[in-house]
Amino acid sequence: MTIAEPDLALATALFDRLREQSFDGVGVTRDSYGAGEQRAHQLVADAARALELEVATDAALNLYLTLSGTDRGAAAVMTGSHLDSVPRGGNFDGAAGVVAGLAVLAGWRKAGFLPRRDVTVAAIRAEESAWFPVSYAGSKAAFGLLEPQALDSVRADTGRSLADHLREAGGRPDDVRAGLAHLRADRIDCFIELHIEQGPVLLEAGDVVGIVTGICGSQRYRHARVQGAYAHSGATPRSHRQDAVVATAALIHSLQQDWIALEAQGHELTLTFGRCMTDPDQADFSKVAGLVEFSIDMRSRSRATLDLMDARVHAAAAGIGAQHHVQVDLGAASSSAAAQMDPSLQRALLCSASQGGIRARAMPSGAGHDAALFAAQGIPAAMIFVRNTHGSHNPNESMDLADFAIATRLLADTLAARAG
């Protein structure tokens, strides 16, 4: 039974203000360690201060909004998500988890409910790796786990380093580089992240919420390229061409066939070529293309499956390079580990949903989330998905606020049960 109704009026106001201040003319853009993310963090920090919550940040500028409990020595219950977005993204991806946590604590404040444990809403920085080629930058930094070289990675649009952006925003990159941790696993009772579902499963099934069983890991080549040779489109016979577009198309087709074959064998996997482009300064309709740049994104809950598909990628790159007389350079690889969500929290969430008459299903997450990093530290972690229309990472993202309210009540019940 819900102890106090979450403050849904506050949630609505925060969503409206987030959209207003980050609308880019098409979607919303809240750039990691940039003006968009910074404004969002300021907005929720101000809302937390108005609720008389404790407000703190760490060296990486992760934000912690805490309702203190009666036993300050007990391990804290945590919830939250991220506030950054992809370029021209949607308003709810990430932000829904932070707003839900604040709505819960605001409702408790109004009702005078005081938990035994501290309850903290975390607004985590730089979850979207569209800006910096680093997975879970903010949550890794919170635990002192961000690789020092990650601070030297450059942002896709500015070409400036993560350290520079962090310092400019008021953070302490030297402390992050030194591995100074703000969070400790033994001081956290659990972490529960509410997030919109980023696919169509809940919507098509008629379910309102999903209880996540596990989060996929990834293997990525963000800056792959096929180097051929530019040539005249009319004067160069097929036998003399080193066509980068044809070779890239063959590579994509080959890997699609490998994906289909692995799925038929029972492997859970996704494969995406999110970037694929010729050089706009050299490519022309009357030229054979000499260069294609592209990306490969593989995801699975099984590292063995990722390794198997990765081997197929390298084999196909070598074979097609030789066949088409081009060079296939996959570039640097980046990866993130898969994570399993806590079984007891899954059961508690499904039981609470059933008792409340909420249509829910257990389901995996194909996308990465900060909850995976918490789980990797041995912290009991869980995720609540809220159905939404049109997926995510696009301007048409559309979560019904009635569904958000149902999921937020489920979050409130679970947090209250853990916090005591």
Specify binding-site residues for Zn(2+). 82, 93, 128, 195, 393
List, as residue ranges, the binding site. Answer: 82, 93, 128, 195, 393
| Contact between 353 and 407 (Cβ < 8 Å) | no
Q: Cα(50)–Cα(182) distance, rounded to whole angstroms?
A: 24
All residues at 6 or more sequence positions from 105 whose CB lies less than 8 Å from its CB, including other chains: 51, 53, 65, 67, 119, 121
**Residues forming a β-bridge with 291:** 227
> In the chain, what is the straight-line distance between the N-terminal and C-terminal CA atoms, in Å?
13
φ/ψ region of 126 (left if φ > 0, alpha if ψ in -120 to 50, else beta) reads left
Q: Return the H-helix or E-strand segment holding 417.
A: helix 401-419
- Half-sphere exposure of residue 35, counting CA atoms within 13 Å on the CB side? 7
Residues in the chain: 420
The three-state DSSP-derived secondary structure of 156-221 is CCCCCEHHHHHHHHCCCHHHHHCCCCCCCHHHEEEEEEEEECCCCHHHHHCCCEEEEEEECEEEEE
Q: Cα(388)–Cα(281) distance, rounded to whole angstroms?
A: 40
